[in-house]
Amino acid sequence: MRAEIESPCVRTCVVHPEARICVGCHRTIDEIGRWTRMTPEERRAVMEELPERAGLLRRRRGGRAGRMERSGEE
């Protein structure tokens, strides 16, 4: 058995238009593309950052609520 860091991919591959990270795994496009060539240390460092990145996506509100928030309407 190989001692590798598994991929955080959850097969929800959509890049957030503002945050520029995958909404499923929270990695950047560059990180996704380089994942298999990264060292275990590089992968571990990325994995440690992912929980913080998830918060970037939760703050964004879309639809009517997001439009109202941006325009100051209630």
Q: Distance between CA 25 and CA 13 in Å, rounded?
A: 8
Q: Which two tokens stand for residue 31?
A: 């990180």
Q: Between 66 and 30, where is the model more confident?
A: 30
Domain locations in the chain as residue ranges: 8-56
Count the residues in the chain: 74
Angle ∠(27,9,53) on CA atoms, nearest 5: 30
Residue 66 is predicted with a pLDDT of 55
pLDDT in tens, 1-59: 456 678 999 998 999 988 899 999 999 999 999 999 999 999 999 999 999 998 888 65
